[in-house]
Amino acid sequence: MHWPSLHRMHPGVFMPFPICSLHQLGWQPRYAHDLNLDDFEAGYPARVVAEYGDHFVVASSCGRQDMPRPRHSPGGELHVIIGDWLLLEHHSGRLLRVLPRQSLFAHALLGDAGPGNPVVANLDTLFVVTSCDEDFNVTRVERHLARAFAAAVTPVVVMTKADRCPDASAWLATAQRLLPQACVVLVNATVPASVAQLDAWLAPGNTLAMVGSPGVGKAALMRHWLDDATAALPQQTARQRHAGVAASMLSTRSGAWIIDTLAMHALCWAVDAPMQTDAAGLVTMRAMDRC
């Protein structure tokens, strides 16, 4: 069987990406329920692993492929975004359709009554990162949790800077009491054994993202998880922004994926912003504040 060229990347962009099986890319049996024999005869599944302004990169069990961004997906109902699973035509690699999303985050500007712009699809876990200091805000964390639950994503509250707080256990007890609907984990981001408490959510193929104010330790956590090729996170992020990378999936040492997207990376949500969930369960985050 002939496959299209699958290794052309955006020039000048350093984004190491291994050739993976569908399972390693996050494929789950429930995705196959949306495909029939004719679909598999016509095409093969691939996942969107990077977004640029005019094109995106997909990965499948046979490698990577650059694809121009379509004005509309077949059928016109979905815009392709990071994390999407696509059905691509054999031989040509042409987009046949976007597979139904298992989870979806979107955001909209204040006063926009529409459903919002899709940001991330097929996310499994959301790490809500806060710290044992004045950054801890129950209302803000609760809003992140509500959005995650509404989007069918598992939220985990990660409390950092345990090493800088003499009464960190008291902070943990308070968070667990005030946030009984979520798992709360206290970590010292400078100690690998402490960060290892989060390993259960970094299983091979699991897809996660992080939200939280600047300075709470998100970058320190990512340095623990990223493989050697992507360990220089600040340089990687700066180069991606310069090259126009809107979003990317980063491979971790454990085989999980971290979605790094400017839409979620550069914004946090105002604690007094209204949250809306439409009839389809689409989470819309409005009135975003820059943190």
CATH number at residue 232: 3.40.50.300
Residue 12, Cβ density class (10 Å: 0-12 exposed, 13-18 middle, ≥19 buried): exposed
Residue 277 has pLDDT above 70, yes or no: no
Write the pLDDT tens digit of every residue in 45-73: 999 999 987 889 999 988 898 988 766 65
Report the alpha-carbon distance of residue 271 to residue 277 in Å, rounded: 17
Q: Is the domain of 141 the same as that of 72? A: no
Q: Which of 95, 101, 102 is nearest to 42 (CA)?
A: 95
pLDDT of residue 281: 39
* Domains of the chain: total: 2
Of 186 and 234, the structure prediction assigns the larger pLDDT to: 186
Domain extent for 166: 124-243+253-266
> Is 74 a domain residue?
yes
Residue 287's pLDDT is 31
Exposed/middle/buried for 220, CB within 10 Å: 0-12, 13-18, 19+? middle
Domain membership flag for residue 56:
yes
Per DSSP bridges, beta strands 288-289 and 268-269 are antiparallel
pLDDT value at 240 more than 70 = no
Say if residue 86 is in the same domain as residue 146: no
Q: Answer with the residue of higher pLDDT: 171 or 71.
A: 171
Tens-digit pLDDT profile for residues 28-45: 988 888 899 999 899 999
Residue 214 is assigned to a structural domain of this protein: yes
pLDDT at 286 over 50: no
> Is 159 part of any domain?
yes
| Domain match, 227 and 173 both | yes
Tell me, what's the pLDDT at 9?
37
User: What are the residues facing 210 on neighbouring strands?
Assistant: 127
Count CB atoms within 10 A of the CB of residue 2: 6
